[in-house]
Structure 1
Amino acid sequence: MAVIIIVVLLALALLAWLLWGKKRPVIVIDEKQTAGYRQILTYNVSYYQNLDAAAQTKFEQRVIAFLSSTIIEGVDIEVTELDRVLIASSAVIPVFGFPEWEYRNLTSVILYPDTFDNDFQFEGGNRSIMGMVGSGYMNGQMLLSRQALVNGFAKNGGKANTAIHEFVHLLDKTDGAVDGVPEILITHDYAVPWLKMMHQEMHRIEQGKSDINMYATTNEAEFLAVAAEYFFSKPDQLQQKHPELYDQLSRMFAQDPAVD
């Protein structure tokens, strides 16, 4: 059943591409809807809460732009406005330092009620996937667990945010390779120091000398995504415990989210 739903969603994504192509859609600002988004952001997104008023307005506009150009569909669930705003926030946060950024390698986000398996099934015992960026026939799609999405923005969510993790993978993929060195974000001069730092920190994690999630040792791409979760979720803590890593990520994402 889930596979059939996926096929239908892919067809919808293709239709959206045919209608919009690579043209930026005309965005109609609905003040009532914007006020609703603002309320959700105010109560649920700490990153937004820490912005000044002018930056908050820009963030709201970026959220609206993302939702105007991206299909969000649910598998056996009804997508709520909270779901939509949290997904859009996850997309905007990593690229907020780049005002003209658009996700040209994404057409739709498919939201599952909870974890799913490699066959996109969300029932049964062998389910551990909380999010993934599609490849092959799923290229241009992102799959997310609603539970993981909500948990990532919870007040006690800690350093983890699955949706931000997946959008960082999408950024990494922009240059054609998901390798932890996104050419769109990092210049050639900083690539070698970044790789060196990654490998040093991965070694410390393996030795139990780092508070970064062990999953970051999987490979360079996962290190980048896990470190970015930490950077955007607990920037003060990352800056205190890993100042050099914080500085590298701050340069990479053109942001300095730590609160003085």
Structure 2
Amino acid sequence: MLELLRRWLGRHRPQIPPETWQRVEARLPFLEFLETHERARLRELATGVLAHKQFHGAHEFALDDDMMLAIALQAALPVYRLGLDAYRGWVGIVVYPGDIVIPRSEVDEAGIVHEFDDEVLGEAWEAGPVLLSWHDDEGRPDGVNVVIHEFAHKLDMANGGADGLPPLPAGMSVEAWARDFGAAYEALCRQVDMGLPTMLDPYAAEHPAEFFAVASEAFFETPQALRAAYPAVYAQLARFFGLDPAANLERRAS
């Protein structure tokens, strides 16, 4: 961890200067939907991420304070309602310079093992670290938020393997969640099979867990589009995350 961040941490959560918050948040324009009290809570959660998680740069990648704070802010969004306890049981965040290449092996129907390199933007390991690729502003893929995606997977894994049904907070119905997400996932799969354009990245059709993670990205990155395409899913995520970005943006525009 960098020396400046060490001084911030001390024995307590980091005391981050206002100008640092402003500089980093300016590079995350999708955070503009936040109301003043929501931004204050997000910052509090982000300092908790910095205090309780261990950041590592892969392949000697040098992380700076702005990078770590940007990751912490985005990681805090999915637990805005749930709190940091939702991320208990693991500590590592490993950041790669650019895309991540992970060796894979698969056995086909004939029993033949195929080995290959899988190039990914991120990966969450159950009870293990979160792997993230870092792209500068020019190299970051449009409409993609790998941090939110992988931390949504972490929430999904909290009750076992990722299946698109994370542990829900009190007052939310498992049956209603399964109904709304199941219907939307099936509709997306039909669109993808027919070669039709989709609001969500077609990768969301790979598995219900990917649908949840991709929908979580869209909830924060393109909330009004997600609400228009999948209103029931949007409503479930608004309750789960404790935020309503689309409504906030509409109030700002009126």
Which category describes the TM-score, using the shorter chain as reference length?
A: 0.7 to 0.9
The residue type equivalent to 1:211 in the other structure is: M
TM-score (norm 2): 0.77
Q: 1:170 to 1:151 in 2, by over 3 A?
A: farther
Q: What is the CA-CA distance between 1:162 and the residue it aligns to?
A: 1.0
Q: How does 1:161-180 map to 2 (within 5 A)?
A: 161-180=145-164
Task: Indicate yes or no: 2:18 matched with 1:27.
Answer: no
Q: 1:109 to 1:78 in 2, by over 3 A?
A: same
The residue type equivalent to 1:140 in the other structure is: G
Q: Counterparts of 1:152 and 1:181 in 2: how far apart (Å)? A: 34
Report if aligned partners of 2:13, 2:48 keep a CA contact under 8 Å in 1: no
Q: 1:92 to 1:230 in 2, by over 3 A?
A: same
Q: What is the CA-CA distance between 1:63 and the residue it aligns to?
A: 0.9
Q: How does 1:66-105 map to 2 (within 5 A)?
A: 66-75=49-58, 76-99=60-83, 101-105=85-89
Q: 1:152 to 1:132 in 2, by over 3 A?
A: farther
1:195 to 182, 204, 208: 182
Q: Counterparts of 1:210 and 1:247 in 2: how far apart (Å)? A: 19
Task: Indicate yes or no: 2:140 matched with 1:142.
Answer: no
CA offsets, 1:141-175, max 9 Å, x none? 1111112xx56996xx6432111100000000001
Q: What is the CA-CA distance between 1:127 and the residue it aligns to?
A: 5.5
Q: Counterparts of 2:227 and 2:244 in 1: how far apart (Å)? A: 10
Q: 1:198 to 1:105 in 2, by over 3 A?
A: farther
Q: 1:26 to 1:190 in 2, by over 3 A?
A: farther
Unaligned runs of 5+ in 2: 1-9, 105-115
Q: Counterparts of 1:153 and 1:67 in 2: how far apart (Å)? A: 25
Report if aligned partners of 1:117, 1:127 keep a CA contact under 8 Å in 2: yes
Q: What is the CA-CA distance between 1:244 and the residue it aligns to?
A: 2.9
Q: 1:84 to 1:55 in 2, by over 3 A?
A: same
Q: 1:225 to 1:104 in 2, by over 3 A?
A: same
Report if aligned partners of 1:41, 1:85 keep a CA contact under 8 Å in 2: yes
Structure having the higher strand fraction is 2
CA offsets, 1:45-95, max 9 Å, x none? 234332222222221111111100011010221101221012112211111
Report if aligned partners of 1:45, 1:153 keep a CA contact under 8 Å in 2: no
What residue in structure 2 maps to residue 224 of structure 1?
Answer: 212
Q: 1:158 to 1:243 in 2, by over 3 A?
A: farther
What residue in structure 2 maps to residue 14 of structure 1?
Answer: none
Report if aligned partners of 1:111, 1:146 keep a CA contact under 8 Å in 2: yes
Aligned residues with identical type, % of pairs: 23
Q: 1:223 to 1:153 in 2, by over 3 A?
A: farther
Unaligned runs of 5+ in 1: 1-24
What residue in structure 2 maps to residue 205 of structure 1?
Answer: 192
Q: 1:151 to 1:67 in 2, by over 3 A?
A: same
CA offsets, 1:178-220, max 9 Å, x none? 0011123553232431323322232223321422111111111
RMSD: 2.8
Report if aligned partners of 2:150, 2:213 keep a CA contact under 8 Å in 1: yes
Q: Counterparts of 2:22 and 2:91 in 1: how far apart (Å)? A: 26
Q: 1:131 to 1:28 in 2, by over 3 A?
A: closer
In structure 1, the residue corresponding to 2:161 is in which secondary structure?
coil
TM-score (norm 1): 0.76
Q: 1:86 to 1:153 in 2, by over 3 A?
A: farther
